[in-house]
Amino acid sequence: KAGVTQTPRYLIKTRGQQVTLSCSPISGHRSVSWYQQTPGQGLQFLFEYFSETQRNKGNFPGRFSGRQFSNSRSEMNVSTLELGDSALYLCASSLGTSTYEQYFGPGTRLTVT
């Protein structure tokens, strides 16, 4: 089975732009969670989607949003980028909700200049 894939792997944007990141879960997995990792804050939970519905959301501003499609693929969007949004963005998929084991993708490294 193919693992979790994320595109793009690397991205450079400038302040004020917006960005969309994509995550394709393992076939058969219905839950996708997104995480942000920075040197200062470590790993932080962004949101979780299950069957196209957002189940949970972390403490991030409204500039961070996401969605899940009927094939379980998920996208996250960050609008009005700030320098502090530079981070590694990871998604993870699981069979059910986050109470199941999660399988992580390789991440998208976003640099905001």
The answer to whether 5 contacts another protein (rule: CB under 8 A) is no
The answer to whether residues 13 and 113 touch, using CB atoms and an 8 Å cutoff, is yes
In whole angstroms, what is the distance from residue 75 CA to residue 112 CA? 19
Q: State yes or no: residue 107 binds another protein (CB under 8 A).
A: yes
Does 20 engage in binding with another protein (CB under 8 A)?
no
Q: Give residues 31-50 in contact with another protein (rule: CB under 8 A).
A: 33, 35, 37, 42-45, 48
Find tokens 């979790």 and name the residue.
4
DSSP 27: T
Applying CB under 8 A, the residues found at the interface with another protein are: 33, 35, 37, 42-45, 48, 56, 58, 88, 90, 92, 98-99, 101-104, 106-107, 109
